[in-house]
Amino acid sequence: MLLLKKLHKWVGLFIGIQVLLWLLSGLVISLLDPVKVNGRQWASPVVTEPQYIGPTALLEPAELPTEYLKDALSIDLTIQHGIPVYLIRHSDGEHLVSGIDGSLVTFESFDAQKLASQDFNGDGEVISVERGMAPDMETRNHSGAYWRVNFSDKANTAIYISISTGKILERRNSYWRVRDFFWMLHIMDYAGHKDFNNPLIITVALVAIWLGLSGFLLLFGSFNRHDFFFLRFPGKRDDVVITLFEPGVTGPRKVVLRRGSNLFLSLATHGVSLPSICGGGGECGKCRVRFEVTDLPDASGIDLLLVPKRLREKGYRLACQQIVENNMTLHLSEGTLTPPD
């Protein structure tokens, strides 16, 4: 138990802050509404009217310029923005080629602004359109050049439109940015915000599991059945009288405690605060009280560790390690009953 406690404390000291950050970032992420985070909240519903390819004369795929066909992985013919187009996918990106004349279709800032405005139904106007040549943090799941269309809404929406396909790549906003920041903290990938298999988090997680395991075992040790007295029938009380003496205080003070409760904690709830730093954890050794020889309990492992032999022989034990069993008399150190202030 003692060893477990040591382990728990030292692991806590080293990675406690990260455990706190995991819980905090997890909480923030769960609190954010995913519909806002991914921008669907302010996206126009998709119109699903079928767009038939129709009978217009078209080029066959084999008639398209060879530079687009080389190493193509897939080709899709559809109607987009009113014209028949071939979407050609390569390992490094996608292109749209007109089915009518084989020319490359690209999207200009004006088109991007139009497409983004059609999509956005929130409360705001386009304030600027910027060109991005390579993926940044907000477009990290894509490749290729894009337009970033910024809106004036409260959530600072930015809609990203691919230059080569006109597709909406992402809808980003303040909710997403907050989530992404906390996601970074959660997965400890401070550069990419993406890789949760990174060596840092693996190391910390491997250490943290010991915090959890030791804590879990300690939890069992820290409870006894008397902690659950409130589950018993009301009115059925089983009390013990403790008589307290303190040098310089005239007359004993008597307190009535529940049998089976922790001596240190019970005294504290009755207004008798024994000296302590650790708050009853069996760590500081300050809560020692002197028992009468007739009631002297056996010294526990923690008593042996924290109470010097000389004092143990005089009848000193740590109150936080004692369960109240019988009526007894205790001698407290000066200033306990009457704090000198």
Partner 1 sequence: MPFLKPPVVARTLHKWLGLLVGLQVLIWLATGLYMVVVDIDFIHGDTLVKNTQQPLLVPGKSAHDIASLRAQYQDATKISLRPVMGKTFYTVTTVDHRYLVDPQTGAVKLPLDENTAREIARYHYAGEAQISNATLISSNPPMEIQTRRLPLWRVDFDDRFSTSFYIDPYNGSLATRRHQYWRIFDFLWALHIMDYEDRSDAHNRLLIFAQFTGLTFAVTGLWLLFYSFSGRRRKKGNVVI
Instruction: Return d(Cα 55, Cα 128) in angstroms, integer.
Output: 39
Integer Cα distance of 223 and 273 in angstroms: 21
User: How many residues contact partner 1, by CB under 8 A?
Assistant: 77
When binding is defined by CB under 8 A, the residue of 44, 78, 121, 152 that contacts partner 1 is: 78
Binding flag, residue 53, partner 1 (CB under 8 A): yes
Q: Give the binding range for ligand FES (CB under 6 A) out of 43-51, 55-63, 246-254, 279-287.
A: 279-287
Which three-class secondary structure state does DSSP give residue 7?
helix
Q: Determine, following the binding rule CB under 8 A, whether residue 216 of this chain makes contact with partner 1.
A: yes
State which of positions 298-337 bind ligand FES (CB under 6 A): 318, 320
| Near ligand FES in 240-269, by CB under 6 A | 264
Single out the residue of 226, 258, 286, 312 in contact with ligand FES (rule: CB under 6 A): 286
Q: Is 88 in the site for ligand FES (CB under 6 A)?
A: no
Rounded to a whole number of angstroms, the CA Rg of the chain reads 36
Alpha-helical segments (H) within 147-249: 174-187, 199-222
Quote the CA–CA distance of 305 and 218 in Å, as a whole number: 19
The binder of 182, among ligand FES, partner 1, none, by C-beta within 5 to 8 A per type, is none
Provide the 8-state DSSP code for 253: E
Alpha helices in 194-319 (DSSP H): 199-222, 263-269, 301-306, 309-313
Tell whether residue 184 is a contact of partner 1 (CB under 8 A): no
Going by DSSP bridges, is the β-strand pair 239-245/328-331 parallel, antiparallel, or unpaired?
parallel
- Longest CA–CA span in the chain (Å) reads 111
Asked if 296 contacts 315 with a C-beta cutoff of 8 angstroms, the reply is yes
Question: CB 330 → ligand FES: shortest distance, Å?
Answer: 14
Residue 62 binds partner 1, judged by CB under 8 A:
yes
By beta-carbon proximity to partner 1, the closer residue of 133 and 219 is: 219
Residue from 119, 138, 170, 283 binding ligand FES (CB under 6 A): 283
Ranges within 86-145 binding partner 1 (CB under 8 A): 91
Distance, CA of 113 to CA of 293 (rounded, Å) = 89
User: Interface with partner 1 includes 166 (CB under 8 A)?
Assistant: no
Distance CA 22, CA 194 (A): 16
Site string for ligand FES, 96-135 (x = CB under 6 A): ----------------------------------------
Q: For ligand FES, which is the closer residue by CB, 89 or 286?
A: 286
Residues near 310 by beta carbon (within 8 Å), at least 6 away in sequence? none
Beta strands at 239-245 and 168-172: parallel, antiparallel or unpaired: unpaired
Q: Which of 150, 179, 280, 317 binds ligand FES (CB under 6 A)?
A: 280
C-alpha 87/C-alpha 209 separation (Å) is: 49
282 binds, among partner 1, ligand FES, none (CB under 5 to 8 A by kind): ligand FES
In the list 223, 256, 313, 323, the residue contacting partner 1 (rule: CB under 8 A) is: 223
Helices within the chain (DSSP H only): 2-31, 34-37, 66-69, 109-119, 174-187, 199-222, 263-269, 301-306, 309-313
Report if residue 271 touches partner 1, rule: CB under 8 A: yes
Contact partner at residue 297 from partner 1, ligand FES, none, CB < 5 to 8 Å by partner kind: none
Residues of this chain, 175-204, that bind ligand FES according to CB under 6 A: none
Residue 287 binding partner per list partner 1, ligand FES, none, with a CB distance cut-off of 5 to 8 Å that depends on partner kind: ligand FES
Pick from 235, 291, 239: which is nearest to 261 by CA? Answer: 239
Sign of CA dihedral 35, 41, 43, 45: positive
Which residues contact ligand FES (rule: CB under 6 A)? 264, 276, 278, 280-287, 318, 320
